[in-house]
Chain A
Amino acid sequence: MSDKTMTADEVVSRLRSGMTLGIGGWGSRRKPMALVRALLRSDVTDLTIVSYGGPDVGMLAAAGRIRKLVAAFVTLDSIPLEPHYRAAREVGAFELMEVDEAMFMWGLRAAANRLPFLPVRAGIGSDVVRVNPGLRTVTSPYDDRETFVAMPALGMDAALVHLNRADRLGNGQCLGPDPYFDDLFCEAADTAYVSCERIVETAELTKDAPPQSLLVKRHTVTGVVEAPGGAHFTSCAPDYGRDEALQREYATTPWPEFAARYLGGGPHDRDPE
């Protein structure tokens, strides 16, 4: 069986400008920040980003890498409004497909199931339909005749997710209380890259944790990156919580200055242990 381990830069070397990238996690929670930082160091741009948005979206927006965003929100959780995302939206920096949280999930499920769409009782009556003129509805063929949004599949060229543990084959483990939608991102994308706090032997995955914690299966994974602290400054329960001080610094510092510190060889330009 093949060893899929690689570095974050090797992951990014497989990505191309113009691709559709899914980013796992949720808001400022368990985001694959080491992979996002590697992406920011590269010249990959013109991206369509699919994300339950947090600082991943904010940073890529600040760096001008986004052509189109698919999202239900962008937030830093403890700081409700993402400053760089706001600034980018207020100058019309990229195209936006704004959908509801549940619509987003059903879009991932449709892609994971190779369906063109799934019906959702959300969006009807709201301006989500107005601002996405491409959205279509579907009427129940049964007696109720209810009309639903036909949420299109959110397929992706690549997904980036961060988990607590993984083995070299790509079996990924979530030890925190919420898996978010990382397995769905991996299933819905053509390729998927899992960074993790620690790569362990396969047998070690279930030594002290139940099999239900094995969230991501290897047949959906292309590459595995060992990145201790790889979600920092977002949270990665139970390994660590959010670094609120650095997040505040991120939210209040002009991007070029913060980027120099965060990406340009400063103290945060490596993944803290």
Chain B
Amino acid sequence: MTVTRAEYCVIACAEAWRGDGEVLASPMGLIPSVGARLARRTFSPDLLMTDGEALLVGVDGTVEGWLPYRRHLALVTGGRRHVMMGASQIDRYGNQNISCIGDWARPKRQLLGVRGAPVNTLNNPTSYWVPRHSRRVFVETVDMVCGVGYDHADGAPYHRIPRVVSDLGVFDFATPDHSMRLASVHPGVTLAQVREATGFDLVVPDEVPYTREPTERELRLIREVIDPQNARSREVGA
């Protein structure tokens, strides 16, 4: 069976939570959410997850805890959480913007606002998901730093950006100056495509692996259990 691009994206997102242990997985967006649920059902069974509101729920939906916003914000500062946020813009050092496009004082496009990006990035691992990799998103400089990048973190003790996943590949900051590096491309994507869609010079190693294949069991879980309506294909096309 052919693995779709959306399914590679699910695998790449799931891998963000590998080895995290007993922490809260906070996926924002559909594909990260399928990925987190896949990770919990397979290689990261101790992850905690919410119902999207105030309850912590087990794999079968059993309520196992209470996490209203005020407790959520305390959990963030305690650090036992790995969030995957969206990004309207992201730059080579992982600065992220979801607040507005253009001059903050009078934006060309007002977006959500900083939300919890500042507190997230200074307190717990923060990864990002970008469903449409383009030069509008992967920019030289973000218009408003909401999520703090490596060049702004100034040795903040708990700052870490494990990965950025897009519809083209997986990116990390495993370089001497923490500038963004291509960690893997999804099968069917070329390096030229990634470079063309990125608005800054990406670090590209000599050997770039492909994002790994899902196992039979993972594919079955994605297709039959976690996302049987195939909502993932509406977020990322073939």
Contact A89 B112, CB 8 Å, known A122-B123, A177-B55, A178-B53: no
Tell me the residues in window 34-66 of chain A with beta carbons closer than 8 Å to chain B beta carbons. Answer: 53
Query: Would you call A242 an interface residue if the criterion is a C-beta within 8 Å of the partner chain's C-beta atoms?
Result: no
A177 to B72, CA, bound (A): 13
Bound CA span A122–B148, Å:
10
A225 at interface by CB-CB < 8 Å = no
Q: Is the CB of A131 within 8 A of B104?
A: yes
Cα–Cα, bound, A81→B101 (Å)? 13
The interface size bin for chain B is 35 or more
Known contacts A92-B105, A126-B152, A131-B104; A177/B53 CB under 8 A: yes
Contact between chains at B113 and A73 (CB < 8 Å): yes
Residues of A within 8 A of B107 (CB): 89-90
When distances are taken between beta carbons in the complex, the residues of chain B under 8 Å from A177 are: 53-55, 66, 68
* Least distance between B19 CB and chain A CB atoms (Å): 24
Question: Does A258 reach chain B (CB closer than 8 Å)?
Answer: no
**A100 and B100 within 8 A (CB):** no
Instruction: Please determine whether B156 and A122 come into contact, CB atoms closer than 8 angstroms.
Output: no
Instruction: Give the residues in chain B near A227, CB-CB below 8 Å.
Output: none
| Closest CB in chain B relative to A32 CB, distance in Å | 17
CB within 8 Å of A: which B123-166 residues:
123, 144-148, 152-154, 156-159
> How far is it, in angstroms, between the C-alpha of A102 and the C-alpha of B114 when the chains are bound?
11
Q: Find the residue from B53, B113, B116 having the highest chain A CB count within 10 A.
A: B113
B110–A178 touching, CB < 8 Å? no
* B73 contacts the other chain (CB 8 A): yes
- Measured between alpha carbons, how far is A177 from B109 in the docked complex, in Å? 34
Known: A131-B104, A178-B53. A126 touches B148 (CB 8 A): yes
Tell me the bound Cα distance from A244 to B85 in angstroms: 25
Which residues of B in the span 186-227 have a Cβ within 8 Å of any Cβ on A? none
- Residue A100 contacts which of B69, B106, B116, B153 (CB distance < 8 angstroms)? B116
Q: How far is the CA of A103 from the CA of B145 in the complex (A)?
A: 16
Q: Which residues in A have their C-beta under 8 angstroms from that of B144?
A: 127, 131
Q: Which residues from A are CB-within-8-Å of B13?
A: none
- Contacts A100-B117, A126-B114 known; A90 to B69 CB distance under 8 Å? no
Contact of B110 among A86, A123, A131 (CB under 8 A): A86
Q: Does B42 contact A (CB under 8 A)?
A: no
Q: CA–CA, A125 to B147, complex, Å?
A: 9
A26 touching B152 by the CB < 8 A rule?
no
How extensive is the interface on chain A, given as a class? 35 or more
Q: How far is the CA of A183 from the CA of B51 in the complex (A)?
A: 24
Residues of chain A within 8 A of B158, CB atoms compared: 121
Q: State which of A89, A91, A123, A146 has its C-beta within 8 Å of the C-beta of B118.
A: A123
Let me know if A101 and B119 touch, CB within 8 A.
Answer: yes
- Other-chain residue from A53, A100, A125 in contact with B152 (beta carbon distance below 8 A): A125
B70 in the interface, Cβ–Cβ < 8 Å? yes
B12 touches A (CB below 8 Å): no
Most buried by A among B70, B105, B108: B70
Which chain B residue lies CB-closest to A179? B68
Contact of B153 among A91, A98, A125, A180 (CB under 8 A): A125
Contact present for B54 and A178 (CB under 8 Å)? yes
A78 nearest CB across to chain B (Å): 12
Which chain B residues border A71 with CB–CB below 8 Å?
A: 113
Sort A-B residue pairs by CB-CB distance and give the 8 closest, nearest first.
A73-B113, A122-B119, A102-B119, A177-B54, A89-B110, A125-B152, A100-B118, A125-B148
Of the A-B pairs whose beta carbons lie under 8 Å apart in the complex, a sample of 30, sorted by A's number, is: A72-B115, A81-B110, A85-B110, A86-B110, A89-B106, A90-B107, A90-B108, A98-B99, A99-B114, A100-B115, A100-B119, A101-B119, A102-B76, A102-B77, A102-B119, A103-B118, A121-B77, A121-B119, A121-B122, A122-B119, A123-B119, A124-B148, A126-B117, A126-B145, A126-B147, A127-B144, A128-B114, A128-B146, A177-B66, A180-B69
